[in-house]
Structure 1
């Protein structure tokens, strides 16, 4: 895993700009895990990855990835490869496959 050394960065914080629309003083990071993971996948820097891996653990991040309703193809392939998650077990992949495209309908 590319971020396998995340335990070396236990005090790293999440960039608050990733959650710009929320009041972070009362933000529940556990309840909003899937959203936080999605924002880090889409827009995060390495320190943001270290934050979610320390906060939720590898298993928690993998579970959140599997539950995400949308990721673009590049991000989907990246997390599939990095976390050894088959594309077919990701909700966003299944949802994408079930959508009829204009030229395929």
Structure 2
């Protein structure tokens, strides 16, 4: 029998700012997905897949406003999608960083 997943199963460094008693997986799914994608460990990634499935993670990640370059590249390769399809890529193009160009 599979154990029900709770927010306490994820790494504590991800959710230091979250009240565990008030956390709802459906209500806060965008926040959860973004935190795990950018700062999670492999066990967090596996838990995230168990909670939402790859299709939901794909839909959410396509619409997240900011992701770091490594996470964006990983997701583009994983889902076989061009980086230009991600909202965070489009948003980054609107505000170029002249210091690192």
Return the offset for 1:16: 3.2
Moved more, 57-66 or 28-37: 28-37
TM-score with structure 1 setting the length: 0.79
Unmatched segments (≥5 aa) in structure 1: 1-9
TM-score with structure 2 setting the length: 0.81
- Tell me: higher relative CO, structure 1 or 2? Use CA pairs within 8 A at least 6 residues apart: 1
Aligned length: 94
In angstroms, what is the RMSD of aligned CA positions? Answer: 1.7
Unmatched segments (≥5 aa) in structure 2: none
1:29 to 21, 25, 30: 25
Matched, 1:95 2:91: yes
